[in-house]
Amino acid sequence: MSAGCKVPKGENMANVVVVGAQWGDEGKGKIVDWLSERADVIARFQGGHNAGHTLVIDGEVYKLHALPSGVVRGGKLSVIGNGVVLDPWNLLNEIQTITAQGVEISPQTLMIAENTPLILPFHGELDRARENQNSVAKIGTTGRGIGPCYEDKVGRRVIRVADLADDATLELRVDRALVHHNALRKGLGLTAIDRDELIAKLKDVAPEILKFAGPVWKVMNEKRKAGKRILFEGAQGALLDIDFGTYPYVTSSNVIAGQASTGVGIGPGSIDYVLGIVKAYTTRVGEGPFPTELDDDDGQRLGERGHEFGTTTGRKRRCGWFDAALVRQTCATSGVTGISLTKLDVLDGFETLKICVGYELDGTRLDYLPTAADQQARCQPIYEEMPGWTESTEGARSWNDLPANAIKYVKRVEELIDCPVALLSTSPERDDTILVTDPFAD
């Protein structure tokens, strides 16, 4: 245990994957930024600009969507891997915004994988059209084209960063994509895509994107062999994973830690530690099952105290008690080594706290959330109650700063999820962090 957030220095370092262990919005941005002080490379390995990370550093607020959280650290290499889908115009706007806040971004500090798929304007249009016309069950997407771009990647018709370097290849790729998309658009009542206008836009943005492009897989493997410390940054949360999430109310990529390897082109043996980010209660944005959701004053209080509005969409997050059964499940599927428990201070002042330890389904007790959607909808949470605390935990930087009942809550969470707490975050500020186990220590 540590008396504060200062990380002890050591020569032997591990490569660390950071993943969200709930439905996203767990506070990954701050933790990645905090850990990146000791990393040499920070790599995003999946998702798109539907993810939102908010960093608060010395009172300055940075809102990141496509850029890795490590960009705010000077002298680090930030990487956007091939597992990400990238909107080039959004990225350039984000770079402009962050640069205006005093952050230097150059080809020496940012690299984009040459095989990264590009989100084009028609992907967002298709995303929104589908959601608006879906009268059966809305998924709750952000409408930013992430899903349709991943579909094109699997369908082998996506335009990738490397394609921007050759006009003939680019035009061929665009033609292939339009055969598919114009047929879809006709069925949805949308006008055909203007081919020449799209190609002109891509040629215009190409020089600005290509200056950051490189063989990420090669660079990452060279960095690993040279003993450099790599921090892999995930987006969203494991419960939104396309395979292991609450399908179909999920994102369009694999979110769990195994994706870190394929998302940048580095072997799974390069991963030494998986840090799962876990909020001290539970939130969700969009549609889908949520067993511990609260529609009462407690839920309202969690939302207000936690400022629960999406970084990307501004949508109000649904709030509920901590679900230990779900986090235990995601820790297993991601192979989590230790967790970072965030937003403990939001629970300050609650007389009684509840933790979901399992579910009741048609009279049968389960210790996991079943896969079938109809069964998920019928699961009723089984709660364990714990006494709360009246003292403030906000800004605590050591265990001695925490109330006894807060420590008991943390210890009970560890027991129920069968995974130790490595870090404890008590405010959005970078240094308000208690170190228990150093993820970077080999």
Instruction: List phi, psi (to 5°) of 139.
Output: -85, -35
Q: What angle do CA 98, 102, 104 make, to 5 degrees?
A: 75
Strand partners, 275: 18, 338
* Burial of residue 26 (number of CB atoms within 10 Å: 0-12, 13-18, 19+): buried
What's the token pair of residue 403? 């109330």
State the catalytic residues: 25, 53
Q: H-helix or E-strand containing 53?
A: strand 53-57
Residues whose CB falls within 8 Å of the CB of residue 338, separated by 6 or more in sequence, listed in order: 273, 275, 276, 419, 420, 421, 422, 423, 436, 437, 439
Residue 335 to residue 339: CA distance in whole angstroms: 11
Closest CA to 44 of 265, 273, 269, 260: 260
H-type helices in 28-166, by residue range?
A: 28-35, 88-100, 121-133, 146-154
Question: Residue 249: what residue type?
Answer: Y
Cα-trace Rg, the chain: 22
